[in-house]
Structure 1
């Protein structure tokens, strides 16, 4: 239950009316001991300093109130232990005020108090807890329990109290677990489907398509389609723990022997095969690309590399996969929401990897590019515009 509670914000006990807070604490006490009776004395308006009175069954063979129709047997039990429950829905209770509440407890003649549960919608200091313990011991009590906000939350997060958590705060960990289970099953089902339909399509082009792209395949009617497309053709690279990986950008690059220092020519992008993309125009300048090619060919073969930017579409974002395609694009279509400037991609990473099959090397450049060195001409190293 610890992991579940970490995903929830604090419970707002202060939003409960005082009587409702009393009801909550009393209901949490129901399973705390085996009671013959548990009376909500605070509801009557004259509570003699406490909000509930409980009689704990000591004789294990004696029937409880729920096990007998004999009213007298349910009320009177020889050896039953008397407990008092006090509830305070206050934002802060210091040591002095806490002891004052203990002093206000009144018992009728002949009653022997065995234990007390003091519950409050606030946190208690160590000093308050120490003085509470000392005072209870001085009163001759055999058991005492001080429930602050943290203790009450802990009890509410127990599986057996999930109904109370939902009734008072509208939160159900059982429902959350069911929802998580359903989400996980859907994610794993999509992962298995992607593996089945796309495992032979690695390094092939795939169409990423928004379910809202009603204009497909006519891009002419979509304003600024080049910068904010509703569908994209990208090479499928496989999948990792996050989702499906697609090649977004690919540039001529340099990688040093230390597998750390690198440089790249961002002037041209070889990520998209325009023969597969009916809707894209060639953004590369032929002259720039030829110049970049010659600069790349001029460095030793062992230092030649590709800088690749990879985008990831999470499994949970994938709505479906159409492995058949149609006349405009006959390879698989992957349906996912296109939200924001990053289209369907939620995660990205960059890598620089050598082209040599005999000496494969790889580096992982950061956004700060502190390991980037100057290896290529200045006019080729920067990207001419922001390409999606």
Structure 2
């Protein structure tokens, strides 16, 4: 069986009025090269066959013609080039660029290159419809949304970052305590970040259950906020904590074990919390005063990950702040931090006895 492939829809440049097509080409040209001067003179009316004129930073003059046609022949190319040459003085350093909404034959392409040189241009380039599509999908994804309303993964990621930043500000305003950040308080919160929250719990509800928020088929949970990260809010498991984790000091691999399990050779054990990470961009609304069923704040979220709002789950050793991710060995630095914290705990225990 062949592997499935992802395809992209053909862009319909022919649906654009000529002005819009020129605007698109101008945006691409402006980004693709470095300019000392660049002007969309075709928008102003009589252009002498040139829609965009510019001088790049290497002092090469560019004459750019935009043709939003369904076909473009040798005769069309000759007429376009003759019109430019008839209205402008073409120096040896000048470049010609023709941007087309359609595709053309190899013969027409070769004709444009040879005829433009014959008429005095130092060189030429031709952007056919397929090349424009490739440039947009590969290098200028934001223009796909601006000109065609096509939202790519790149565009969605931009929205996630922008929306996530806004939500984080709202989260900090509603959920965090307003404190006087003395050195003592900073140290206390560094040891236990959950103390910076105003509430020991929050309720998470699905945006898809707004009409039946706590019904039999509704998705919701009570959960304890632990700390804010750059990506989202870390929550601790409300009903289970202090999982026992065995770590192999040689391989740096780890496994979750039961309290009465024996350690293997080269293993030591730690206690860790189970953590769920809720990305900011999944939070749609925050009901600070709760709802009809809960006095805790309610976070209305998009359940985007296997019917949950949580991007990932992992274990956290709170004292060292080391995260243990399923299937991922510890780094040397993480292992060192864990061992340092265990040694500190041991020394503290000895001191207190």
Question: Normalising to structure 1: TM-score of the pair?
Answer: 0.47
Q: What secondary structure does 1:246 align onto?
A: strand
1: CA distance, partners of 2:254 / 2:228: 26
2: CA distance, partners of 1:361 / 1:253: 15
Q: Does 1:350 align with 2:314?
A: yes
2: CA distance, partners of 1:203 / 1:321: 13
1: CA distance, partners of 2:210 / 2:284: 14
Structure 1 segment 291-370 matched on structure 2, within 5 A: 292-295=258-261, 303-306=268-271, 308-322=273-287, 330=295, 332-337=296-301, 339=303, 342=306, 344-351=308-315, 353=317, 362=322, 364-367=324-327
Please say which structure displays the higher CA radius of gyration.
1
Q: Does 1:134 align with 2:114?
A: yes
CA contact (8 A) 1:246 1:312 kept: yes
> Which position in structure 1 is the counterpart of 2:339?
none
Aligned pair in 2 of structure 1 residues 239, 188: CA closer, same or farther (>3 Å)?
Answer: closer
**Which structure shows the higher helix fraction?**
2
CA contact (8 A) 2:52 2:64 kept: no
> Which position in structure 2 is the counterpart of 1:254?
246
Aligned pair in 2 of structure 1 residues 101, 25: CA closer, same or farther (>3 Å)?
Answer: same
Aligned pair in 2 of structure 1 residues 259, 245: CA closer, same or farther (>3 Å)?
Answer: farther
Q: What secondary structure does 1:260 align onto?
A: coil
1: CA distance, partners of 2:297 / 2:127: 57
2: CA distance, partners of 1:294 / 1:215: 43
Q: What secondary structure does 1:136 align onto?
A: helix
198, 207, 211: which is aligned to 2:203? 207
**CA deviation after TM superposition for structure 1 residue 232, in Å:** 1.3
CA contact (8 A) 1:254 1:264 kept: yes
Q: RMSD across aligned C-alpha pairs, in angstroms?
A: 5.8
Q: Does 1:193 align with 2:182?
A: no
Aligned pair in 2 of structure 1 residues 106, 231: CA closer, same or farther (>3 Å)?
Answer: closer
**CA deviation after TM superposition for structure 1 residue 348, in Å:** 0.8
Q: What secondary structure does 2:326 align onto?
A: coil
Aligned pair in 2 of structure 1 residues 342, 310: CA closer, same or farther (>3 Å)?
Answer: farther
Q: Provide, for residues 102-129 of structure 1, a one-character-per-residue CA deviation record: whole Å limited to 9, x for no partner.
A: 4467979xx6675676331256899976
**CA deviation after TM superposition for structure 1 residue 191, in Å:** 3.6
**CA deviation after TM superposition for structure 1 residue 324, in Å:** 5.2
Q: What secondary structure does 2:117 align onto?
A: helix
Unaligned runs of 5+ in 2: 1-7, 27-37, 54-62, 91-95, 137-142, 178-193, 331-353
Question: Normalising to structure 2: TM-score of the pair?
Answer: 0.50
Q: Does 1:222 align with 2:216?
A: yes
**CA deviation after TM superposition for structure 1 residue 154, in Å:** 7.8
**CA deviation after TM superposition for structure 1 residue 143, in Å:** 8.7
**CA deviation after TM superposition for structure 1 residue 347, in Å:** 0.6
38, 46, 55: which is aligned to 1:38? 46
CA contact (8 A) 1:114 1:142 kept: no
Aligned pair in 2 of structure 1 residues 305, 299: CA closer, same or farther (>3 Å)?
Answer: farther
> Which position in structure 2 is the counterpart of 1:42?
none
**CA deviation after TM superposition for structure 1 residue 323, in Å:** 5.2
> Which position in structure 2 is the counterpart of 1:87?
67
Unaligned runs of 5+ in 1: 1-8, 40-51, 58-82, 156-161, 224-228, 266-291, 371-388
Q: What secondary structure does 2:176 align onto?
A: helix
Q: Does 1:239 align with 2:218?
A: no
CA contact (8 A) 2:282 2:303 kept: no
Q: How many residues align?
A: 266
Q: Which one has more relative contact order, counting CA pairs under 8 Å at least 6 apart? A: 1
Q: Provide, for residues 1-37 of structure 1, a one-character-per-residue CA deviation record: whole Å limited to 9, x for no partner.
A: xxxxxxxx787245x26xx565555677894348985
